[in-house]
Amino acid sequence: MIKVAIVGGTGYTGVELLRLLVNHPQVEIQTVTSRTEAGKNVTDLFPNLRGHLDLKFTAPTQEKLTTNDIVFFATPNGIAMQDTPALLKAGVKVIDLAADFRIKDVAIWEKWYGMTHNCPELLKEAVYGLPELNRAKIAKARLIANPGCYPTAVLLGFLPLIEAGVIDLNDLIADAKSGVSGAGRKANTPTLMSEAGESFKAYNVAGHRHWPEICQSLNICAGTEVDLTFVPHLLPMIRGIEATLYTKTLQPIDLDKIQELFIQRYKNEPFVDVLPLNSHPETRNVRGANICQLAVHKSNNKLVILSVIDNLVKGAAGQAVQNMNIMNDLSETTGLMNVALSP
C-alpha cells in the first residue's frame, strides 16, 4: 500500500483528493493536515466522507509527513517549497498541486508570484505533471509540479497541433472560463454567490499567472516561442473549465485531417476524449471525472478547438492521483474510472 499525506486538507482540492483516494485500492491515507482545524475529525468538516475516513486533522509537522511514501500539497502558493527539500531528503516523494515548481525560470516565477523562491535548485528537477506530455519523466520523478487547471485544458487542446507543425505559432488565442471553485475555498467577495451569480466577467486580462505556465510547455513543444493571448473568465457555476482555442493553420483547413490528428494523438490516452467532428462539449459532461473532452471546429479561416475539464479533478486532484499512479507503476486509471455526474 502507498502511504500518503495530504497537506492542506480543508480546501477544495484537498477534499477532492480525499474523495478520490478513500476508494483507491492501493492507498492508505495516514495524515491529513490543517493548522486551523488540527484535532478536529475530518468528517466533521466534510460529512460526505463519513464511513470512508476515520482521521483527525493534524498540524503539518515533519515527523508526521516523513512517515509517508507520498505527500500531496493542496496548499496556497509558497507553502510546498518550504517543506519539500526536507521531504525529498527523507526519501518522500512530493506532488504539489500549487504553483511552487511549475515554472523553471526562477526570475519569471518570482515576478508572477511576488515572493522569493525557497528552493530554486529544485525547479530544474521538478517534472511538470501533465501525463499526456511527460509520462516517461513522471514515472521516474520524485517531485511533481501538478499543472494548473487552465493550463491543462489549454495545453491538451493545442498540443496535437503544435506537435504536428500545422498551425501559426504567432496566432494562438485561449478564451477560457472557470467556475468559482477555481478561486479556492476562502471568503472572497468576487466569488460570493450574490456577486458571481447571474453574472459573467473576464479578469486578469493584462496577465494571469497561468499564462507563463502555458507558454513554457507550448514553447518547449514547439522548439520556439509562441505568441499566446490568454484571457480567463469567471462563470457563475461551481465546477468546470471551458477553453475555446483559436488559431490559424499553415495550409487551408481540412477538418477531417485535423480530426484524425487529434484521434491519433490521444487514442491511447485514457483520460482524453476526442468527440466527433463539430461536437460541443459541455462542462457537465466531465463533472466529477478525470476527463478532458475535446472537439474540433472551423470558423471562417480559423481553427477552433473546444476543451472542457472539471477544474477540481483533471485540473487538480484527479491529475495528481493520475501522476501518483504513474510514479508507482500502477495502472494509470486506478481509482479514477468514476463516471461523470449527470445531471
114 and 73 within one domain: yes
pTM over 0.75: yes
87 close to 71: Cβ distance less than 8 angstroms: yes
Complete edge-to-edge strand list for the sheet that includes strand 201-202 = 201-202, 228-234, 167-178, 241-249, 302-309, 292-299, 272-274
Which residue is listed with cell 466531465? Answer: 286
Q: Is residue 318 part of a domain?
A: no
Q: Which three cell numbers stand for residue 276?
A: 466527433
Q: Is residue 189 part of a domain?
A: yes
* Confidence (pLDDT) at 61: 87
* Cα–Cα distance measured from residue 173 to residue 229, given in angstroms and rounded to the nearest whole number: 5
List, in order, residues 6 or more apart from 132 with CB less than 8 Å away. Answer: 156, 159, 266, 269, 271, 272
Q: Is residue 60 part of a domain?
A: yes
195 and 105 within one domain: no
Domain that holds residue 120: 2-125
134 close to 216: Cβ distance less than 8 angstroms: no
114 and 30 within one domain: yes
> Residues in the chain, how many?
343
12 close to 38: Cβ distance less than 8 angstroms: no
142 close to 71: Cβ distance less than 8 angstroms: no
Q: Is residue 334 part of a domain?
A: no
224 and 170 within one domain: yes
* Confidence (pLDDT) at 51: 96
* Cα–Cα distance measured from residue 230 to residue 157, given in angstroms and rounded to the nearest whole number: 13
One pLDDT digit (tens) per residue for the chain, 343 residues? 999 999 999 999 999 999 999 999 999 999 999 988 999 999 999 999 999 999 999 998 888 899 999 999 999 999 999 999 999 999 999 999 999 999 999 999 999 999 999 999 999 999 999 999 999 999 999 999 999 999 999 999 999 999 999 999 999 999 999 999 887 777 678 777 788 888 999 999 999 999 999 999 999 999 999 999 999 999 999 999 999 999 999 999 999 999 999 999 999 999 999 999 999 999 999 999 999 999 999 999 999 999 999 999 999 999 999 999 999 999 999 999 999 998 8
Does residue 131 have a cis bond before it (omega within 30 degrees)?
no
Helix (H, G, I), strand (E, B) or coil at 77: coil
80 close to 100: Cβ distance less than 8 angstroms: yes
What does the DSSP assignment read for 247-284? EEESS---HHHHHHHHHHHHTT-TTEEEPSTT----GG
One-letter identity of residue 127:
V
255 and 193 within one domain: yes
For 151, other C-beta atoms within 10 Å of its C-beta total: 27
Catalytic annotation present for 149:
yes
* Confidence (pLDDT) at 208: 94
**β-bridge pairing 93-96 and 201-202:** unpaired
Q: Is residue 144 part of a domain?
A: no
165 and 262 within one domain: yes
170 and 121 within one domain: no
215 and 175 within one domain: yes
195 and 120 within one domain: no
* Cα–Cα distance measured from residue 339 to residue 316, given in angstroms and rounded to the nearest whole number: 17
CATH of the domain at 116: 3.40.50.720
* Nearest of 6, 66, 59, 5 to residue 34 by alpha carbon: 59
116 and 54 within one domain: yes
* Cα–Cα distance measured from residue 329 to residue 223, given in angstroms and rounded to the nearest whole number: 30
Q: Is residue 130 part of a domain?
A: no
CATH of the domain at 207: 3.30.360.10
* Nearest of 71, 70, 216 to residue 130 by alpha carbon: 216
Burial annotation 185-198 (CB, 10 A radius, 16+ → b, else e): eeeeeebeeeebee
49 and 191 within one domain: no
Count of structural domains, the chain = 2
Q: Is residue 186 part of a domain?
A: yes
Q: Is residue 322 part of a domain?
A: no
